[in-house]
Amino acid sequence: MKAAVIVFPGSNCDRDLADAITKVTGTAPQMVWHAETTLPEGLDFIGIPGGFSYGDYLRSGAMAARSHVMQAVVQAAGEGRTVLGICNGFQVLTETGLLPGALMRNAGLGFVCRDVRLEVANSQSIFTSRYAQGETVTIPVAHHDGNYFADEDTLNRLEGEGRVAFRYAEAVNGSARAIAGILNDAGNVLGMMPHPERLIEAAQGGTDGRRLFEAVQAALG
């Protein structure tokens, strides 16, 4: 599996994501700087990491969504390449329009940083095939603007099309219908607020995040 991780000014989880990909697949991803106008050829997987891209000025992810490299990512996603956006990466994906909705300030108006329980709402995607439907897993969160919002029609469509990948199994940030991660209509783009790359080996306190990367590797080879 040939992978790349996008790096913006203010990214702080890019190396965590790269390390997770390396440990699961055995191959290090290419690190792609935000100012690049093209992506490496032959990519199977593109990761957009967490952090505070461009200092979260304007809105979280808004400036990153307009960077040169994201134009190439949008094109790659449209061609069917697999894209994962985590935390700030999820915010970037909504700002580009690759995913619907928006991430707003947490309902409690504070930064949330802890392990949380998630329900696997769709186990049939590229990203979730190593989980069981309805299974509860533990994945860390670390965000200030993770409150997922969309209008009722969009929420109903996401539910009806099976595009909710993960839900919070406990109160976390006020997200509509407890949504923690969603898929695009083609199923090749996932945005999620929790950080699976932070729980891939026992030394980190658990391995529930590892199966997401294993699922992607199994699907893409």
Active site residues: 87, 195, 197
Distance (Å) of CA 103 to CA 36, 87, 146, 147, 175 = 26, 10, 5, 5, 8
With beta carbons less than 8 A apart as the criterion, state whether 188 and 81 touch: yes
With beta carbons less than 8 A apart as the criterion, state whether 145 and 103 touch: yes
Q: How many CA atoms lie within 13 A of 79 on its CB side?
A: 14
Closest CA relative to residue 6, chosen from 80, 81, 83, 60: 83
User: 143: helix, coil or strand?
Assistant: strand
Closest CA relative to residue 193, chosen from 132, 128, 113, 108: 113
